[in-house]
Amino acid sequence: MVDEPGGGGGCSPQDYPTIDPSSFDVVLCGTGLPESVLAAACAAAGKTVLHVDPNPFYGSLFSSLPLPSLPSFLSSSDDSVVPSPSSSATTSSTTSYAVVDLHRRSLYSEVETSGTVPELSRRITVDLVGPRVLYCADEGVDLLLRSGGSHHVEFKSVEGGTLLYWEGDLYPVPDSRQAIFKDTTLQLKEKNLLFRFFKLVQNHIAASSTGAEVGEGEASGKLPEEDLDLPFIEFLKKQHLSPKMRAVVFYAIAMADYGQDGADSCDKLLTTREGIKTIALYSSSIGRFANAEGAFIYPMYGHGELPQAFCRCAAVKGALYVLRMPATALLVDEGKKRYVGTRLASGQDILCQQLILDPSYEIPSLDMPCNAPVSNSPRKVARGICITSSSVKQDSLNVLVVFPPISLEEEQVAAVRVLQLSSNLAVCPPGMFMVYLSTPCADAFTGKKYINKAIDILFTTKASDDPEGHLEITSENNKEVKPTIIWSCVYVQEITEGTAALSCPMPDENLDYRSILESTKKLFAEICPNDDRVNLCLQGAAEQSSLLSAAQFHLAVSPEVTQ
């Protein structure tokens, strides 16, 4: 892999390496997770691949950065035109194309930090995509196994499980028969109804997976089609689940982002089919790996390890990598019908059959069909990052917390999710915890308000006369000690949608990668429409190899890490 020179976009053209050859089947600009998956899949399909990135590190918008690098990264995507040097490459006399300068757009805004950056800050790794986890039975895990990327990443369990904030307190989520039985906060009637609901869902999942064809309902265990097409809220009400239990199912297991009880959220309502699909994934994740408790796992050293793993797979298959190499312009054919390549900061023109760009690039509009034009009103997600002195849950290191809609105030329409990580994931020094928060929002003010409300409920700030940060106060219920915030950052990220044929998806508001991988598969289908072998790789592990794959992945789930 080529990773010179060291100065990024500030170098003169002669300081950059010359790339040979100057024509590839696929050129990808940016090493985010979708681009890296595509690079690995295209290389496996026998395509010639060039993968460049303006940064000196892998991951782009999916990176894990040292804490001191975070402020400059969040402010580095300001709208700008990347200067396009004159071409220094020789091209065929029969080749004729126009050069269109590339713009970079600002994706991060409203950045606010507070507190003191702790000592040993370079040992603190910050994820740009947090909070985010992988289900043990996730398609992303299967993809790592099939591609060989699992050899380059280790994982650890989110062993503390999930907590639900409800009526001023944090409650453990009863997500299995054992958890329901042990839960002391549930009444006997609630336990029985929840047992019955999970049994009903499990029977449907089992019948669906075996292809049962003996009728519907009780005859086969499958739910009737009319129930599957119902809004999930209606189905749960038919099961007589209490509001608290519905919140558990909706926001802590089915992972709904928006309120499901209010009439004003009708366009965001889950169907029963969608809800059960996620419950099935959640259920199959519990117990898949012997040394991973619960449904979720997290990559050691942060999510930036995932794109690096796929980049290594691509490099083994022959992909060429050049870091610190910005793309400055697009090359358009004479008729301005399609993009035929890119001009790099070195001035070299690279021709290709397929061009894929990091979503931070603003793609110029051409007189060509576009299946997914750039959105005029991009979605937003408010994110928070906190470094704290102790755990939000006693005796638990890594834990997920969910604030359902209206749990913070009546006007709250979207869930707030919080993920706490400890030093056993090698993301911070011992004695500290990394905490990530996020919520989808229509505007920056509303999103940041709910992030800050969740922070105020879970943590206390360091007193001005306590420079060592030892002050901790008890929460309102006097059962737990609220951790102290050492440092925090709250900001807003846009989620833009680019041209389907050119731009990869960016980090979204979801807890997992399912939506991102689905968009990536569609992109790959356009690049390699007839390659069933690699399509199989992108679609997940084959059933016959799942036991072997799980055994191999079991070894990668690290029990401990030495700081």
Give the pLDDT confidence of 220-266 residue by residue, as tens digits: 688 889 889 999 999 999 999 999 999 999 999 999 999 987 655 55
Q: Are residues 102 and 187 located together in one domain of the fold?
A: no
In this structure, what CATH number is given to the domain that contains residue 533? Answer: 3.50.50.60
Helix axes 139-147, 33-44, angle to 10 degrees: 40
**97 pLDDT exceeds 70?**
yes
Listed in sequence order, the residues at least 6 apart from 172 whose beta carbon sits closer than 8 Å to its beta carbon are: 161, 162, 163, 164, 179, 183, 185
In a domain, 454, yes or no: no
Give the pLDDT confidence of 69-92 residue by residue, as tens digits: 999 999 875 444 455 565 544 444
Can you tell me the distance from the alpha carbon of 471 to that of 233, in angstroms, rounded to the nearest whole number?
A: 43
CB 512 within 8 A of CB 140: yes
CB 330 within 8 A of CB 100: yes
In a domain, 191, yes or no: yes
Q: Which of 285, 312, 345 is the last residue of a domain?
A: 285
Given this model, what pLDDT does residue 349 score?
95
Q: Are residues 338 and 267 located together in one domain of the fold?
A: no
DSSP class of residue 483 equals P
Q: Are residues 277 and 343 located together in one domain of the fold?
A: no
CB 13 within 8 A of CB 342: no
Average pLDDT over residues 25-39: 95
Helices (H), 349-398: none
Of residues 251, 256, 197, 257, the one with CA closest to residue 227: 197
CB 402 within 8 A of CB 166: no
Q: Are residues 277 and 306 located together in one domain of the fold?
A: no
Q: Residue 16 is part of which domain span?
A: 8-106+301-373+499-541
In a domain, 320, yes or no: yes
DSSP code per residue over 208-258? HHTT--S-SGGGTSPPPHHHHTSBHHHHHHHTT--HHHHHIIIIIIS---B
Q: Which of 285, 313, 328 is the last residue of a domain?
A: 285
Three-class SS state of 479:
coil
In a domain, 224, yes or no: yes
Give the pLDDT confidence of 344-376 residue by residue, as tens digits: 999 999 999 999 998 888 887 665 444 444 445
In a domain, 334, yes or no: yes
CB 126 within 8 A of CB 385: yes
In this structure, what CATH number is given to the domain that contains residue 273? Answer: 1.10.405.10
Q: Are residues 243 and 190 located together in one domain of the fold?
A: yes
In a domain, 123, yes or no: no
CB 270 within 8 A of CB 219: no
Number of domains in the chain: 2
Q: Are residues 341 and 250 located together in one domain of the fold?
A: no
Taking CA atoms, 88 is separated from 84, 342, 347, in Å, by: 11, 13, 5
Helix axes 532-539, 139-147, angle to 10 degrees: 130
Give the pLDDT confidence of 434-473 residue by residue, as tens digits: 999 999 999 999 999 999 999 999 999 865 445 444 445 4
CB 90 within 8 A of CB 63: no
State the sign of the Cα–Cα–Cα–Cα dihedral 441, 445, 450, 456. positive
CB 289 within 8 A of CB 554: yes
pTM attached to this predicted model:
0.87
Q: Tokens in use for 43?
A: 């290389």
Query: With helix as H, strand as E and coil as C, how does 130-177 read?
Result: CCCCEECCCHHHHHHHHHCHHHHCCEEECCCCEEEEECCEEEECCCCH
Q: Are residues 204 and 266 located together in one domain of the fold?
A: yes
Q: Are residues 97 and 22 located together in one domain of the fold?
A: yes
Query: Which segment of 46-55, 469-478, 492-501 scores lowest on mean pLDDT?
Result: 469-478
